[in-house]
Structure 1
């Protein structure tokens, strides 16, 4: 493109040019000017990529662009409307920092906080682990590989726990430490409230704290069952009594009976047995007798 511009400008001024040739020369000159202006805008990493003499890259960046610090983080102004995060140099240690300070190069210190990781010991296998499902949800130190969802580490709903272990709401929420739980949608109907699932081991331990022993828990179950049977019998007797009263009041009416006086008709004689018989005129009663 530049050769075309050069050839166009090198043409003799005295030569006659057509209108089309002049327009082409002007277009070529405009393109060459735009290419020259585009080459003047340097890429922010151009000097860093072309650093072949072994000079410090931080110094190259500081020469080509300015460093801006925003909320504790240093950024490089690329000059094209972008802020680039300042790279962390591998040699910015103790020896590298002293050398950089002597050369007047800004040193980026690694001020990251090292957070120590606390490992828990599994109650089943004894191995150490950082986190697990039972530990994060129920604070029970068992790793994921030892977790038994079917039997040992099964879950139980709050309603089932109250019925099986005779616990109250205060035993779950008020007694220290409160039992931890997870919430799940009700599988029977999603419109109902969420279920609270507790770890069966922790519920059993809380029941032993409340009742003292398994024998006492069994006695409490038997006592409540007896009271329940007595209450059922009392309710049944009350209903039967009410039913009898309703039947008697609607059907039974009391009647007074008077003494009946027989009025006998004429006597009939039986010659073979030599007896007499007479019958009451108002009822079917008959009487047989002998005359003396």
Structure 2
């Protein structure tokens, strides 16, 4: 089964905690532990292989409470068991890029693999987060620049504040997105040149779209103005008269007054 692309590597502290929990679970399972009852003093009594112990809720067990034992002896016994149960956890420290101090884990390192301690974290300015849409518009990146180019940029998912039913937003560390843009375009000047080219193409596309809409509008207007019921005028002439001087006949239209002259054969 293919692993998720943005699977986070566990820190040394998290691995040690998981291992410690696993060992404790194995010990409980092998000992066939069964919870029996609550003790009179309020602690939970646990039976292990027929012997009763008190759960201290500190990761270890005590023999059934004997009220005749001195409190100091009981405290010393608890301390001894705690020391025996303790595991030595190897921790690898990182160096903060801002203050140069060492730290074991932090918000920015856990989510973005960015070496910065929580004391120096500044999400308002220096370590600002940016949505994928804004990152693509500002730095002219494609989806493959985020997900396919090695190493893939890490992100955190948050619910969309505009509408809860929309897909979750992906938030990236802006400084890492800018660094990725430098890998793609090599310089800020090339980013600006690419932005101008895209703006020119966008303007040309707008003009073409406008002209197409205008042409469609004109066709619709002409179609609206055309009267399909219109018929050409037909003259209705009155009585003809004869002109002796020109030897021609003429008659006039009763509607528009047009006069037509003609000769009779």
Q: TM-score range by the shorter chain?
A: 0.5 to 0.7
2:197 pairs, out of 203, 223, 232, with: 223
Deviations 1:245-290 (A, max 9, x none): 232344368x99xxxxxxxxxxxxxxxxxxxxxxxxx69xxxxxxx
1:127 aligns with 2:97: no
**Structure possessing the higher radius of gyration over alpha carbons:** 1
1:121/1:248 CA distance change after superposition, 3 Å: same
Q: Deviations over 1:15-52 (max 9, x none)?
A: xxxxxxxxxxxxxxxxxxxxxxxxxxxxxxxxxxxxxx
Deviation at 1:77, TM superposition (A): 7.4
Structure 2 counterparts to residues 14-163 of structure 1, below 5 A: 82=52, 85=61, 114-163=88-137
Structure 1 residue matching 2:218: 3-state secondary structure: helix
| Secondary structure of residue in 2 paired with 1:240 | helix
Matches within 5 A, 1:159-238: 159-238=133-212
Q: Could you tell me whether the CA contact under 8 Å between 1:165 and 1:207 is conserved in 2?
A: yes
Distance 2:180 2:167 in 1: 25
Cα 1:80–1:240 shift into 2, 3 Å = closer
Q: How far does the alpha carbon of each residue in 1:164-206 deviate from its partner, in whole angstroms, 9 at most, with x for none?
A: 1111111111111111111111111112121111100000001
The two structures have a TM-score, normalised by structure 1, of 0.51
TM-score normalised to the size of structure 2?
0.55
Shift of 1:243: 2.0
Contact 1:74–1:86 under 8 Å retained in 2:
no
The alpha carbon displacement at 1:86 in A equals 7.0
CA 1:80 to 1:116, structure 2 compared with 1: closer, same or farther past 3 Å? closer
Distance of 1:217 and 1:118 partners within structure 2 = 39
Structure 2 residue ranges without an equivalent (≥5): 1-26, 34-45, 55-60, 64-75, 77-82, 233-256, 259-265
Distance in 2 (CA, whole Å) between partners of 1:244 and 1:77 is: 92
- CA distance in 2: counterparts of 1:196 and 1:127, whole angstroms: 30
Within 1, Cα distance between the matches of 2:28 and 2:218?
A: 92
CA distance in 2, matches of 1:113, 1:218: 56
Q: Which structure has more RCO (C-alpha within 8 Å, separation ≥ 6)?
A: 2
Residues 141-162 of structure 1 deviation map (CA, whole Å, 9 limit, x = unaligned):
0111111111110100011111
Instruction: Provide the C-alpha distance between the structure 1 equivalents of 2:213 and 2:189, rounded to a whole number of angstroms.
Output: 36
Aligned to 1:13: none
**Runs of 5+ consecutive residues of structure 1 not aligned to the other structure:** 1-68, 91-108, 257-281, 284-292
Where do 1:266-281 residues align within 5 Å?
none
Over the residues paired in the alignment, what is the CA RMSD in angstroms?
3.8
Shift of 1:73: 6.9
Cα distance, 1:113 vs structure 2:
5.3
The residue aligned with 2:215 is 241
